[in-house]
Amino acid sequence: MTQSVSSKRLVLAPALLTAALLACGAPAPSALPEVILEPTVRPTLAEAALATLAAPAVAPTAASGAVTELASAAFRDDFDGTMDTGWTWFKSPEPGYSLTHTAGWLRLNMSSGSFLGGTPPENLLLRPASTGDFNLGTYLRFSPHNNFEIAGLVVVFDDHSVLQFGRGFCYTDGTSPACNGDGLYFDNIQAGTAVGGNFAVPAVLGLDYVLQLQRQGNTYTASYTDSNGSSGVVGTHTVDGAPLSIGLIAAQSTVASPYADFDYVEMTDGP
């Protein structure tokens, strides 16, 4: 079910890494510096008419262990200096983030954990999931260069079971279709084990991406639009059981200091 997308990109890849998947076991270290390329074009988006809740004076720090499922969880947060009160952090009360580095953007520092490893990532910003169908989306600015790192959308089922869809980096010496360098990856991780493929659609260096994740029953479909106006479906996973929470992830980094920027996140009732 992997789609191929033609693109031109410059990829600096660490040699002799043996990972076969984006998030496969313990990440190997890389000495490459992080480079964030600023695009010159942004897509024009039709914003949904959603009510935005009052934002707190400070970022929320509550743990995510007691989220409550909602019949409807429609919302939008533009990160204009504050956060919506509905957010909670996964596991860590003091993750690395900034609402002031770039006005109107949330910057999440990449954590080193992985849902495929013994230590889950800390930098997940979450809120309760809807009990029904939904459409989850975000505008992501992220140029990955270090093996395994990923930033984007996440759907959490329990502490060891998630769907994660984002832009990431995966390189191996072979020609594994699961590793496509800088690309869009859609992982289904259940009980700490990868289920199905990750689809590995190549990304274009220097472009921003709007990521969209749609739930219809137990089926979740990942799609994108880039800042050149190209769009497509990445892939589909099926997961039994209701999700507990949804949100943003920035994780699986092999080096210190990388980060990902999010312009907004929104969810509407689906389909």
pLDDT digits 0-9 by tens, 234-251: 999 999 999 999 999 999
Residue 233 confidence class, pLDDT cut points 50, 70, 90: very high
Alpha carbon distance 31, 28 (integer Å)? 10
Residue 72 counted as domain residue: no
Q: What percent of the chain has pLDDT over 70?
A: 71
Lowest-confidence region among 133-147, 161-175, 236-250: 161-175
In a domain, 224, yes or no: yes
> Residue 58: what pLDDT?
33
Check: CB of residue 234 under 8 Å from CB of residue 256: no
The answer to whether residue 71 sits within a structural domain is: no
Inter-residue contact 177 to 154 (CB < 8 Å): no
Higher pLDDT, residue 90 or 271: 90
Q: How far apart are CA 83 and CA 128, in angstroms?
A: 15
- Cα-flanking dihedrals φ and ψ of residue 63, to 5°? -70, 160
Residue 74 burial class via C-beta count within 10 angstroms: exposed 0-12, middle 13-18, buried 19 and up? middle
pTM for the predicted model, two decimal places: 0.73
Lowest mean pLDDT among 8-22, 87-101, 145-159, 200-214: 8-22
Mean pLDDT of the chain: 76
- The answer to whether 256 and 112 have CB atoms below 8 angstroms apart is no
Beta strands in 42-100 (DSSP E): 75-77, 88-89, 97-98
Say what the pLDDT of residue 262 is.
98
Q: Of 12-26, 39-53, 58-72, where does the model show the most confidence?
A: 58-72
* CATH value at residue 151: 2.60.120.200
Q: Has residue 218 been placed in a domain?
A: yes
Is residue 160 one of the residues assigned to a domain?
yes
Collapsed DSSP state (helix, strand, coil) of residue 221: strand
Domain count across the chain: 1
Structural domain boundaries, residue 202: 82-269
Q: How confident is the model at residue 57 (pLDDT cuts 50, 70, 90)?
A: very low
Whether 193 is covered by a domain: the verdict is yes
Give residue-wise pLDDT tens across range 20-33.
333 334 344 444 44
Q: Is the pLDDT of residue 7 over 60?
A: no
The SS3 call for residue 106 is strand
Residue 106 lies inside a defined structural domain of this protein: yes
Q: Which of 173-177, 197-201, 220-224, 264-268 has the lowest mean pLDDT?
A: 173-177
pLDDT above 70: residue 199: yes
Phi, psi for residue 19 in degrees, rounded to 5 = -70, 135
Query: Residue 68: what residue type?
Result: T
- For residue 246, being part of any structural domain is answered with yes
The least confident of 64-78, 85-99, 164-178, 223-237 is 64-78
Q: Which of 39-53, 222-236, 251-265 has the lowest mean pLDDT?
A: 39-53
- The pLDDT value given to residue 94: 64
**Residue 71 is which amino acid?**
A
Q: Which residue has the higher pLDDT, 225 or 42?
A: 225
Bigger pLDDT: 177 vs 31? 177
